[in-house]
Amino acid sequence: MKSLRGPGLFLAQFVGEQAPFDSLAGMAEWAAGYGYRGVQIPSGESRLMNLATAADSQAYCDDLRATLDRHGLQPTDLSVHLQGQLVAVHPAYDALMDGFAPGELRGRPAARQQWACEQIRLAARASRRLGLTTLPAFSGSLAWPYLYPFPQRPPGLIEEAFDELARRWRPLLDACDEQGVDLCFELHPGEDLFDGSTFERFLEAVDYHPRAQLLYDPSHMLLQQLDYLGFIDCYHERIQAFHVKDAEFRPSPHQGVYGGYSGWIERAGRFRSLGDGQIDFGAIFSKLAQYDYSGWAVLEWECALKHPQQGAREGAEFIRRHMIDVADSAFDDFAGVALDDAQRRQLLGLNGKQGETE
């Protein structure tokens, strides 16, 4: 059996204009000071890395790793969440999604999509140079506006959406395969891949591509009222990345899972700092250990109440407490007895002809 690695920290929520949050070296020193051992790097964040250079320069990637190594850190993976979001955008969201693309591409959906796809190809090449094997992403969405429609969805609408999603992602999955990298989709409301059923639909559309894998984040499952522990039983073979992120869901006479257009503080379902929500991480870490998950446990910090610095500081220790060094022997091995065939039959009362057919 294998042991997972950690604690890791997703840097996206902490990048800023002020030191130490404006450079990879500064963030590495800061994260290491809290006890993190790995960092997940948002690949499109120019203050942390130059993705195009990383894709083509081994020396640049060696320097990046050296920067982290000086602080006892490793890169867990590169993130292409925002670029993945732009692979498939329903026109209703064009204006909002333009904020994820360079200024010259805004108002140009086709060019924006092409740019996003190239970004993912670059990230796959950079991942290989960095010695990484996982690439977390969002799927983007064409069908999300029709999640709960009235009037009802026309026949074939969802099938066409997933066929198109597969047409866009299949070349990117192939590009990742060429680099030995798994695309790990984070199942997230707002994306067309947001639960087990939608992931299965996508898998079928891409012919069960071996590089179509999962980033497991239980917070998005709790807020949908999904069985996040049973999900591991069903999909553990595809789970290659893990966001350790807490949440709570407290329905009221006023709100359920849709949140009533409220802000995060007022919602029935809220993201919380680790340990402040309702997710049973003891059971999650146990199940991942049971299924030989050997990837990273990476904190993604989002909370409606707590300051990010406190969340980051407490998160490292929280993950460390839940880490399981998987046993290399059974606890009762000391009492084991080796028997030969005859002795085993004797224990079962099968001596002589007893129990045998004549």
Phi/psi for 139 (5° steps) reads -90, -20
Q: How far, in whole angstroms, is CA 27 from its chain's centroid?
A: 21
Single pTM value for the model:
0.94
Q: Which two tokens stand for residue 252?
A: 């009221």
Measured CA angle at 108 (ends 103, 114), to 5 deg: 90
Pick the CATH number of 5-333 from 3.40.50.1970, 3.90.1150.170, 3.20.20.150, 3.40.50.1000: 3.20.20.150
pLDDT of 356: 53
**Confidence (pLDDT) at 1:** 59
Q: Where exactly are the structural domains of the chain?
A: 5-333
Residue 335's pLDDT band (cuts 50, 70, 90): confident
**What six digits make up the tokens of 24?**
């990879």
Q: Quote the pLDDT of residue 167.
A: 98
How many CA atoms lie less than 13 Å away from 26 in the CB half-sphere? Answer: 12
So what's the pLDDT on residue 355? Answer: 52
Burial profile 234-266: b = 16 or more Cβ within 10 angstroms, e = fewer: ebbebbbbbbbbbbbbeeeeebeeeeeeeeeee
Q: With cut-offs at 50, 70 and 90, classify the pLDDT of residue 358.
A: very low
Which amino acid is present at 216? Answer: Y
Query: Which residue, among 165, 161, 160, 164, has the nearest Cα to 138 in the 3D structure?
Result: 165
Q: CA dist 284 to 190, 237, 243, 324, Å? A: 24, 15, 11, 11
pLDDT tens digit sequence for 77-107: 999 999 999 999 999 999 999 999 999 999 9
Percent of residues, the chain, with pLDDT higher than 90: 91
The encoded tokens of residue 89 equal 């955008």
Return all residues near 143 (Cβ < 8 A) that are at least 6 apart: 90, 157, 158, 161, 162, 192
Residues contacting residue 166 through CB under 8 Å, at least 6 positions apart: 202, 205, 206
Question: pLDDT value at position 248?
Answer: 98
Q: Report whether pLDDT(357) > 60.
A: no
The per-residue pLDDT for range 107-157, each reduced to its tens digit, is 999 999 999 999 999 999 999 999 999 999 999 999 999 999 999 999 999
Report the alpha-carbon distance of residue 118 to residue 127 in Å, rounded.
14
Distances (CA, A) of 257 to 26, 92, 150, 227: 39, 22, 18, 15
The pLDDT value recorded for residue 225 is 97
For residue 341, what pLDDT is reported? 92
pLDDT digits (tens, 9 = 90+) for 232-269: 999 999 999 999 999 999 999 999 999 999 999 999 99
| pLDDT at 329 (0 to 100) | 80
Residue 224, C-beta contacts closer than 8 angstroms, at least 6 positions apart: 189, 194, 195, 257
Q: Given this model, what pLDDT does residue 258 score?
A: 95
Let me know: does 293 contact 216? Beta carbons within 8 Å. no
- Written in H, E and C, the secondary structure of the chain is CCCCEEEEEECCCCCCCCCCCCCHHHHHHHHHHCCCCEEEEECCCCCCCCHHHHHHCHHHHHHHHHHHHCCCCEEEEEEEHHHHHCCCECHHHHHHHHHHCCHHHCCCHHHHHHHHHHHHHHHHHHHHHHCCCEEEECCCECCHHHCCCCCCCCCCHHHHHHHHHHHHHHHHHHHHHHHCCEEEEECCECECCCCHHHHHHHHHHCCCCCCEEEEECHHHHHCCCCCHHHHHHHHHHHEEEEEECEEEECCCCCCCCCHHHCCHHHCCEEEECCCCCCCCHHHHHHHHHHCCCCCEEEECCCCCCCCHHHHHHHHHHHHHHHCCCCCCCCCCHHHCCCCCHHHHHHHCCCCCCCCCCC
At 38-84, the pLDDT tens digits run 999 999 999 999 999 999 999 999 999 999 999 999 999 999 999 99
Judge contact between 100 and 82, C-beta under 8 A. Answer: yes
**pLDDT tens for each residue of 170-227:** 999 999 999 999 999 999 999 999 999 999 999 999 999 999 999 999 999 999 999 9
pLDDT at 352: 65
